[in-house]
Amino acid sequence: MRAVVVGAGIGGLSTALLLQKKGLEVTVLEKLDVPGGRARGFSDAVYSFDMGPSWYLMPEVFQRFYRELGEGTPEVKEVDPLFSLYVGDMGKEGTSRTFWKDEYPVRGDLEGYLQDTEFMYKMAMERFLFKEMRVYDFLDPTIIKNLGRFPLFTSLDSFNRRYFSEDFSLKSLGFSSVFLGGSPFNTPAIYAMVNYAILGGGVYYPKGGFQGLVNRLYDLCKRAGVEFRFNEEVNKVEVRDKVVAVWGRERVEGDVFVFNMDYERADSMLPYDYSLGESYWKKKKLSPSAVLGYLGVEGEVKVPHHSIFVNGDWRYHFDSITKGNEPDLENLSYYVSYRKASDDSLRGQDLVFLIPVSAGLESLNLKKYIDAVVSDFKAKTGSKFTIKYERMYGPSDFKRDYNAFKGTAFGISHTLDQTGPFRLPMRHRKLDNLFFVGQYTQPGIGVPMVTISSMLVSEKVLGSLRK
């Protein structure tokens, strides 16, 4: 039996490896010239960069994945401090606190917060994340009995305010929503479990960065016999009651097809009777896109691996994302990754700046925003460096490289009506041999979630072939 996987991101690589190990002949078609998708890296003579993910969380997910494969878990290093948060006015020093593994500088009921978010986290891991949820799963007796501790109908910000009132503490526990494709004001409170994953479970760094994680997956796929075809953009799906082939530079047949490409793009290539249609996609709430600055620098960089910066009114910034407006320079929040703080083997000092922006803003002046946050970064951290290498990446690049719908960086956001059973299905509703894996499906956004998605969809594929 032949499986065709379209897209070599984390989801595509993981699914290809699982299916090949179970006896299928797997071919992976990838639009770009390298594997990894959003998790790929790049380098020049001195500097190297992870292009996308930078937080390695929930190590038990990866342990379970590699155990299922009969392979050793990737080598990781614990990151401590966890992160620093800087709050103030744009271009001024402001206030900062650093969060360590055993020292969380928040003011409020931290003990109660960690107890309740641990309850959420463990219940999600045991009952919900490792299956494709149905609506009736929300009626689980444990949820009904513990609605106060597993809140479905309140926002992350409202939940956090049960335990904290200080503005700085609320910002430190609200910014994680950005990496879930939303804001603390529209992300359901159940995702406070991500804060437990950080504070209770720890933050890690894989050997070689996320590029190293991709390389290992790719090498395992090759050793298992997976066939890869790069520079092979699929632009047509051939359907005769089921999918019989996809077209790129040539026609590729298969018995089963798994799309790791952008879900909307895949849907748009299906015949009318099988497509969700434009009106469906117009109603979807998209996660932000991003303005990214990849900087190779020389000099003094005075930050840990992960740093978060909040300037001015952060609700104003989040509102600009929701309303489709360009962000205001005076009310700008952003994130910075500095891998050299954790990885002495890196030859150069690499800084990656990420500014969340609304999807669809394809004509942004990227340099204006990167210059502004670099200046603010220096003012708030006291870092002194010169830029030796610079590359910028924005919504139009996400659209070009990944066919991302409106240039979204993370797919659809995690609002309540797009959580769990309300996310997009892993199996096409009419085409029994067409499956989807990745951030649009359950459980959702992030490398651990996409890894779980690959495990779930692989079981669905294998189950469909047994019938």
Tell me the longest C-alpha to C-alpha distance in the chain: 64
Q: Calculate Rg over the CA atoms of the chain.
A: 21
How long, in residues, is the chain? 467
Confidence of residue 136 (pLDDT cuts 50, 70, 90): confident
- The confidence score (pLDDT) of residue 140 equals 84
370: which residues sit within 8 A by CB, 6+ positions away? 291, 293, 353, 355, 390, 392
421 within 8 A of 133, measured Cβ to Cβ: yes
Mean pLDDT, the chain, integer: 96
| Element housing 306 (H / E) | strand 306-311
Q: Is 67 exposed, middle or buried (0-12, 13-18, 19+ CB in 10 A)?
A: exposed
- Distances in Å between the Cα of 26 and the Cα atoms of 23, 230, 262, 434 are 9, 14, 20, 14
**Is the model's pLDDT at 141 over the cut of 90?**
no
Confidence of residue 146 (pLDDT cuts 50, 70, 90): confident
Q: How does strand 349-357 pair with strand 289-300?
A: antiparallel
| Element housing 62 (H / E) | helix 59-69
Q: Quick one: tokens of 398?
A: 């996400």
434 within 8 A of 428, measured Cβ to Cβ: yes
Q: Rounded to 5 degrees, what are φ and ψ at 269?
A: -90, -5
- The confidence score (pLDDT) of residue 428 equals 98
CA atoms of 395 and 383, how far apart (whole Å)? 28
- Does 443 sit behind a cis peptide bond, omega within 30 degrees of 0 on the bond before it? yes
User: Residues 267-313: pLDDT tens digits?
Assistant: 999 999 999 999 999 999 999 999 999 999 999 999 999 999 999 99
- Which amino acid would we find at residue 386? T
Give the rounded percent of residues in the chain with a pLDDT score beyond 90.
94
| Element housing 67 (H / E) | helix 59-69
User: Residues 120-134: pLDDT tens digits?
Assistant: 999 999 989 999 999
- Distances in Å between the Cα of 45 and the Cα atoms of 209, 296, 346 are 18, 11, 12
What is the mean pLDDT of the segment spanning 387-413?
A: 98
**Is the model's pLDDT at 442 over the cut of 80?**
yes
**Is the model's pLDDT at 150 over the cut of 80?**
no
What is the mean pLDDT of the segment spanning 415-428?
A: 96
165-170: long-range contacts, CB 8 A cutoff, minimum separation 24: 165/108, 166/106, 166/107, 166/108, 167/87, 168/85, 168/87, 168/95, 168/97, 168/106, 168/107, 169/106, 169/107, 169/108
- The confidence score (pLDDT) of residue 297 equals 98
**Is the model's pLDDT at 382 over the cut of 80?**
yes
Q: Which domains does the chain have, with CATH numbers?
A: 2-76+207-285+414-466 (3.50.50.60)
- The confidence score (pLDDT) of residue 137 equals 87
Q: How does strand 2-6 pair with strand 256-259?
A: parallel
Q: Quick one: tokens of 415?
A: 């609002």
229: β partners: 29
Q: How does strand 243-247 pair with strand 236-239?
A: antiparallel
Q: Quick one: tokens of 401?
A: 């490289």
What is the mean pLDDT of the segment spanning 318-337?
A: 96
287 within 8 A of 264, measured Cβ to Cβ: no
* More confidently predicted of 32 and 45: 32
User: Residues 198-241: pLDDT tens digits?
Assistant: 999 999 999 999 999 999 999 999 999 999 999 999 999 999 99
What is the mean pLDDT of the segment spanning 395-423?
A: 97
- The confidence score (pLDDT) of residue 139 equals 82
Q: Give the residue ranges of DSSP H helices in 225-345.
A: 263-268, 278-282, 314-323
What is the mean pLDDT of the segment spanning 345-372?
A: 97
**Is the model's pLDDT at 115 over the cut of 80?**
yes
Q: DSSP assignment of 369-383, as one string?
A: HHHHHHHHHHHHH--
What is the mean pLDDT of the segment spanning 36-65?
A: 97
Confidence of residue 22 (pLDDT cuts 50, 70, 90): very high
Is the pTM above the cut of 0.95? yes
Confidence of residue 438 (pLDDT cuts 50, 70, 90): very high
Q: Give the residue ranges of DSSP H helices in 135-208.
A: 141-145, 156-160, 167-174, 193-199
**Is the model's pLDDT at 457 over the cut of 90?**
yes
CA nearest neighbour of 204 among 54, 324, 317, 353: 54
- Distances in Å between the Cα of 375 and the Cα atoms of 110, 316, 369 are 34, 21, 10
395: which residues sit within 8 A by CB, 6+ positions away? 289, 290, 291, 357, 359, 360, 361, 362, 364, 406, 407
- The confidence score (pLDDT) of residue 269 equals 97
What is the mean pLDDT of the segment spanning 319-328?
A: 95
**Is the model's pLDDT at 112 over the cut of 90?**
yes
317 within 8 A of 323, measured Cβ to Cβ: no
